[in-house]
Structure formats: C-alpha cells, structure tokens
C-alpha cells in the first residue's frame, strides 16, 4: 500500500481523536490552527494520492528568496 494513501485514510481518525482535546483547551485560536494545518495536510496527501504534480518545497523557497537575493550585493 502507498504511504500517502495510508496517511490520507488515517487523517479522519486523527481529527476525531483530537477534537476532544481541542474542546477541553477552549481556545479558538488553537482549534483554527489545528483545523487549518489538518486541512492543508489532508488536501496535500489526497492530491499526491491522486497523482497531481505538487511543487517541491525547495522551489517555493527559491521563489520566495529570489527577490531578497537580488537585493544583496
């Protein structure tokens, strides 16, 4: 079995396990942060599972750092 498929199938379980912990904290900021990170991770894993080409993290870093590098002497 593919690792991305296994992790994608485990993501709903992770959500169900963490909901009681988030409710006990009573912090909306923590809940929103967890939900955002969980959603991004789930979408990325599902896209990888579906075979969608995703940009590599180094490409993002190069794209972001290119304007900064141009300013350096």
Question: Is 2's pLDDT higher than 80?
Answer: no
Q: Work out whether the CA dihedral 70, 55, 36, 38 comes out positive or negative.
A: negative
pLDDT tens column, 9-58: 888 898 889 889 888 988 889 889 999 998 988 888 888 888 888 888 88
How big is the chain, counted in residues? 73
State the pLDDT at residue 69: 86
State the pLDDT at residue 1: 58
In the chain, what's the furthest Cα-to-Cα distance?
53
State the pLDDT at residue 36: 92
Element (H, E) at 50: helix 28-50
Tell me, yes or no, if the pTM score tops 0.75: no
State the pLDDT at residue 50: 82
CA distance 39 to 14: 12
């Amino acid at each position: 079995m593919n690792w991305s498929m296994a992790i994608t199938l485990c993501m709903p379980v992770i959500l169900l396990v963490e909901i009681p912990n988030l409710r006990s904290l009573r912090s909306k900021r923590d809940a929103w942060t967890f939900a955002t990170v969980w959603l991004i991770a789930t979408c990325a894993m599902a896209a990888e599972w579906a075979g969608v080409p995703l940009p590599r993290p180094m490409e993002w870093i190069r794209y972001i750092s290119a304007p900064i590098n141009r300013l350096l002497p």
